[in-house]
A and B are shown apart, each in its own frame.
Chain A
Amino acid sequence: MLRVESVSKIFGRVAAVDRLSCEVRSGELVGIIGPNGSGKTTLVNLISGFIKPTSGRILYNGQDITHTAPHKIVGMGISRTFQMVRPFYQLPAYKNMIIPLYSPRVRELAGGRYGDRNAVALDLLEEVGFERDANVAYKPAGTLPQGYLKRLELAKAIALSPQLLILDELFSGMSLAEVASVVPVIEKLRMAGKTIIMIEHRLKELFRIADRIMVLNYGRKIADGAAAEVMESDEVKKAYLGSEE
């Protein structure tokens, strides 16, 4: 479904992403891990169109999206969350959902009409764990703790009915309970046939749900396979722990 062909992104003299190639098949849940600065978020920015690669190609369902504008890529069915969550602070949480629900893609999929955005927003928020009886969805986003903000970000991405969902460090800042409440949502998406890419630092939770793990280091892919075999790899251990010298 998604193919990254030898993509590089060079900033000045630093190669944030260095001739990276990978493939994500439809319906998979792929985890991307790696030490800080290994290029994970840059890769996501490249795929979602916020940055253009210095070289290489990105293909989505056979179509070349290397130079497509980010809003169009969203329209094609790729949706992502941001690592640094920045909602519209003075607006209530559910109002934050209005903007994604105003997206042309949402209207297309709904058959040309938007429907009641407020109701859809509240429903989606409830699904990701905003307790309806506590009226959490009505609180200004600025008053909500990180766990809720992360889930709001997830809800915004889901609202766009993506085929490919990319989650950038969703679990960071969440308590175990919150992670536990979000995992079923991700499972449900998988069962509906969605493809998911997750960048994570919290390996235990990730390994439980991922089909495949990709490890990045210094912009390059150093491992790609099942969780167990990837973590046995010497190079991966060296990347995370350093070598004994």
Chain B
Amino acid sequence: MFAGTFVFALINSSILILLAIGFNLTFGISGVANFAYGALYVMSAYLSWTMLNLLHLPFWASAALSIAFTMIAGALMYRFILLRVRGQALSEVIATFGIGLSILEVFRYLGLVGFEYTLPVFWNESIMIAGAYVDVQRIVIVLIALVLVLGLWLFTHFTSTGLAFRGIAQDERTALTFGIDSDRIAALSVSFGAGLAAIAATIIIPLGSIAPDEGYDVLIKALAVCIIGGLGSTGGVIVAGVIIGFAERFTDTYIGSHWTMIVSLAAILLVLAIKPSGLFGQQKELEERI
């Protein structure tokens, strides 16, 4: 039982990490709050579904297109809304939260809920790992999570755009003097974050179905991981994802499934009490914002 739980914990952690990465990129790295994250996640799933089932496009095309559309949606959201309240973090939060809310509730109103609303898995098989049947889809999740995390780290440390992302989060003025167009980079960052959400949706949704409530759940999970791991730190996302993922899974197996969310909440409260900026948090406390 332990081995099986361990494997599923790993998978759970990968899911959490995948969900949090996009949010972490946008807010933690570029300093742009995007509370419409969950809504973009769900929206991309519905887009894929529409293209798949109504336009009868092949799976790969639907997925690619929906990721592209979501990225464009993110950029548009920045251009038309975030741009006007840029710099006032509080207004950014309210505005993006409002958008996310509207999108999700429109979907709920349209009644697009039910088992037929789901995306197909990549390979419909399972293999045996450590005495438990694990479907290939879940393994794909772990692999893609690894690839994305690595790719993101490389991107933000070795490409000029990626470094620019980090630059505008650290010190926007200085970045501007380097000729970095902070608005363009910020738009790209929101866009990339949205794209990551879409990728995550494409491979995670097949495990269940698409529902507007997923949007809120995703936002909660992403926020929880970022709070515990520390906003802006990819390492923090990984560690926090692992901690929460394992804690949830093991709680589920050995204590009882209804305790999992309590464990998550307790983890958050604990982190807040001991190291509020998160385990790897680089968010300096007020004193250091000179």
Contacts and interface: CB of A to CB of B under 8 A. Distances in A.
Contacts of B288: 50-51
Interface string B264-290: 000000000000000000000001101
Interface string A39-68: 001000100011110000000000000000
B53 to A, nearest CB: 51
A41 B290 CA distance: 10
Nearest to B285: A52
Main secondary structure of the interface of B (DSSP, over half): helix
Contacts of A45: 290
A70 interface: yes
A50 B288 CA distance: 6
A219 to B, nearest CB: 16
Interface in B5-32: none
Nearest to B289: A50
Contacts of B287: 49-52, 69-70
A165 B288 CA distance: 21
A179 B288 CA distance: 31
A71 to B, nearest CB: 10
A70 B288 CA distance: 11
A242 B290 CA distance: 29
A70 B290 CA distance: 13
Contacts of B290: 41, 45, 50-51
A49 B290 CA distance: 12
B235 to A, nearest CB: 16
Contacts of A50: 287-288, 290
Contacts of A70: 287
Nearest to A42: B290
B287 to A, nearest CB: 5
Nearest to A83: B290
A85 B287 CA distance: 17
B173 to A, nearest CB: 11
A37 to B, nearest CB: 13
A45 B284 CA distance: 15
A52 B290 CA distance: 12
Interface in A76-135: none
Contacts of A49: 287
B288 to A, nearest CB: 6
A50 B287 CA distance: 5
A45 B288 CA distance: 9
B29 to A, nearest CB: 16
B163 to A, nearest CB: 14
A50 B286 CA distance: 8
Nearest to A48: B287
A80 B290 CA distance: 14
A54 to B, nearest CB: 12
A49 B288 CA distance: 10
A171 B287 CA distance: 25
Interface string B48-63: 0000000000000000
Nearest to A70: B287
Nearest to A69: B287
A17 to B, nearest CB: 13
Nearest to A50: B287
Interface in A10-54: 41, 45, 49-52
Contacts of A41: 290
Interface string B220-253: 0000000000000000000000000000000000
A26 B287 CA distance: 27
A49 B51 CA distance: 58
A204 to B, nearest CB: 28
Contacts of A69: 287
Nearest to A51: B288
Nearest to A82: B290
A166 to B, nearest CB: 14
Nearest to A84: B290
A51 B287 CA distance: 6
A41 B288 CA distance: 13
B81 to A, nearest CB: 26
A63 B288 CA distance: 23
Contacts of A52: 287
B156 to A, nearest CB: 16
B259 to A, nearest CB: 38
A226 B287 CA distance: 34
A41 B287 CA distance: 14
B289 to A, nearest CB: 9
A232 B288 CA distance: 36
Interface in A128-147: none
Given A50-B288, A69-B287, 6 more contacts: A45-B290, A49-B287, A50-B290, A51-B288, A51-B290, A70-B287
12 contacts: A41-B290, A45-B290, A49-B287, A50-B287, A50-B288, A50-B290, A51-B287, A51-B288, A51-B290, A52-B287, A69-B287, A70-B287
Chain A to chain B: the 6 pairs with minimum beta-carbon distance, closest first: A50-B287, A51-B288, A45-B290, A50-B290, A70-B287, A51-B287
